[in-house]
Amino acid sequence: MVDKIREVILKTLYDIDYNEAYSNIALNKQLKQAKKEKIEIDKRDISFISEIVYGTVSWKLTIDEIIKKYSNIKIKKISPWILNILRMSIYQIIFLNKVPKSAAVNEAVNLAKKYGHTASTNFVNAILRKIDKKDYEEFFEIKDNVERISKTTSMPTWIVEKLLEQENLNKVEEICKNSNIRPKIYIRINTLKTNKQDLMNKLKEENIKCEDTDSRDFLELKDIRNIEKLESFKQGLYTIQDMQAGQVALILNPKSNEKVLDACSSPGGKTTYLAELMKNQGEITAWDIHTHRVKLVKDAYTRLGITIIKEEKKDASIYEEKYFETFDKILLDVPCLGLGVLRRKPDIKWQRKLSDINEITKLQKEILQNCSKYLKKGGELVYSTCSILKEENEKIIENFVEKNKNFEIQKQLSTFQNEKTDGFFICKMKKI
């Protein structure tokens, strides 16, 4: 009999792999479908499902290398259903100590019976019974640095090579290893409606475990899913946001009654933090290029009770004279490759490619050059990305400052993903 919980995992992985769906969207869709089918899924089940889905997606490259070792059929020739049964099972055998190998194999065989045929069931059984943790450990013996890092951290070789161009070997290994750590969940306190202690008390009433952080406006949540259903969330008492992402707004440091532009604002996390820092006094113009993403910004500030944000569909890379020297401060959290948030969005590793760098940096330069003209003299601008490649960060700023002598760098910092935060680049400049 097929385990319904593992079947939800398989359907999610199939959707991600075959339909190129984002992990979080595919997972939420399958959980909703399971609820419709009256499949009983408790909190521990959701945690288990989430762990295997994100773990399997994160470790796909490494897992596929192990499959290649034992399969006489090429990866591309294996049925997507059978391939994902193998992937999720190998993830459990290699990376999850709490799942006995016998259980992983038996459940995989049951799934193969339903989603394959006799030959594929025998194929799954034969491969999984050969799998051992040593299959992963052998990758550490590889002499070539790029290949070793790629296979031991499940990182595409082109990303490893790009990182080695700018960082030393040990640093690159650390960055790639950290990209597979499951991220902590942080919430930003809506200081317009509550304070840290009151919110902690409210969450305790809702049986939500949280811990204080060293950041004034953030708390860490423990073991939580479906946070949007909590009454405290619906009341707009907080926003889900990584602490490093919040640094972008803090560094821009907007004041009450200033005119601020957030030119790439969706989904609104940083935009709404700007408004909270301004005590909901002043004016924030929020742009995004897509209608549905503009709506996300409106939904975000409406829930939080913010009234100073005016959202608009607009392409920030196209210059408009009417905005010339209009704003006191500008935030440019530009589109990027997102290599600093791989632990949160592992799909990025498999969707991005080397050729994307030229296209994305061209767009970043256009947005920065155009929007810099919208800043008043004496105003301040923050350029930021959630990426870790210097082409998207330091080199963009160097190029810009060289061409625009009326801008000076006031602060610049970059971080790589670790156990606490994502990877980000932030640069604050002043128009002199």
Question: CA–CA separation, 63 vs 90, rounded Å?
Answer: 7
Contact status, residue 335 vs residue 360, Cβ threshold 8 Å: yes
Give yes or no for a contact between 335 and 383, defined as CB atoms under 8 angstroms apart: no
Q: How far apart are CA 432 and CA 380, in angstroms?
A: 9
Q: Give the amino acid at 273.
A: Y
Note whether 116 and 83 are within 8 A (CB).
no
The two tokens of residue 238 are 């907080």
Count of alpha carbons within 13 angstroms of residue 424, beta-carbon side: 21
Instruction: Give which of 365, 336, 332, 335 is closest to 262, Cα–Cα.
Output: 332
Task: Verify whether residue 386 is a known catalytic residue.
Answer: yes
In the chain the first and final C-alpha atoms are separated, in Å, by 71
d(CA 64, CA 60): 6
How many C-beta atoms surround the C-beta of residue 72 within 10 A? 7
Distance separating alpha carbons of residues 265 and 287, to the nearest angstrom:
6
Kindly state the greatest CA–CA separation across the chain: 73
Query: 210, 336, 371, 386: which is the annotated catalytic residue?
Result: 386
DSSP labels, 37-97: TT----HHHHHHHHHHHHHHHHTHHHHHHHHHHH-SS-GGGS-HHHHHHHHHHHHHHHH-T
Sign of the C-alpha dihedral, residues 290, 291, 295, 297? positive
- The amino acid at residue 171 is K
Q: Among 156, 155, 151, which residue's Cα sits nearest to residue 140?
A: 151
Which H or E element spans position 218? strand 218-222
Task: Read off the DSSP letter of residue 73.
Answer: S
In 3-state terms, what secondary structure has residue 258?
A: coil
Burial class (CB in 10 A: 0-12, 13-18, 19+), 374: buried
d(CA 138, CA 34): 39
Give me the active site residues, please: 386
